[in-house]
Structure 1
Amino acid sequence: MFKLDEFKELVKDYRDVADFLVVYIAEAHATDGWAFVNNVEIKRHQTLGDRLVAAQTLVDLEPGCPVVVDDMSDVTACKYGSLPERLYVLQAGKVVYKGSKGPWGYYPSEVRTFLEKMN
């Protein structure tokens, strides 16, 4: 959420040359776990329904692109090593950019630079 505005600008600026997608995964900072102060009130997901409700919080903030939800086995998070968050660029089904793990390695500005070079 910390860099959501920067991500939204990236989506807005590059929506004509790239398709964006957010995959909502397990909540990294659930309020009934390891949480940040003043974080959004989201508890650990016990069911897919819990995860869908939590994802709606992000949808309501209008990220500018579709939001899909990882299943409860966390197959996407495991495959892409994305807990708590990570940015990727895929081209023709292959990863061409893999950002560092967030939150400290989550830099939409790096994706911007990468897309500028590709464009």
Structure 2
Amino acid sequence: MDLDADLIEAAEANYSCEMDTLKGAVEFRREDILSCPLKRGAEAMPERFDVVLCLSVTKWVHFAHGDTGIHNLFKRCFKRTRPGGFFVLEPQGWSSYKKKRHITRAIRDTVASINIRPEAWV
């Protein structure tokens, strides 16, 4: 799952499955984890996964949604992880926030208001 349609397209193009048991077990979607439904199918059953990867996105969620966005990201990822499953997080360090904080005034203001820093997540 990613917001970037180009990244989803590249993932689909690069994915190959040699093991018959895994065919159909991988799906690529262009979605926003913060706003997509947590339930799917005719019965609207909760979608749960054995592994949820959150790689190189926390800074961008933080920039767009502040501390509330990070809290919601973790909450939603946890809800999607099956009991006994794994949530794998790759947070960007605070120094990378400082390098990119001047992209826009809104991001600069958001970074100034952040209280939940990535160093506290590990």
Q: TM-score range by the shorter chain?
A: under 0.3
**Larger of the two Rg values belongs to structure:** 2
Normalized per residue, the structure richer in strand is 2
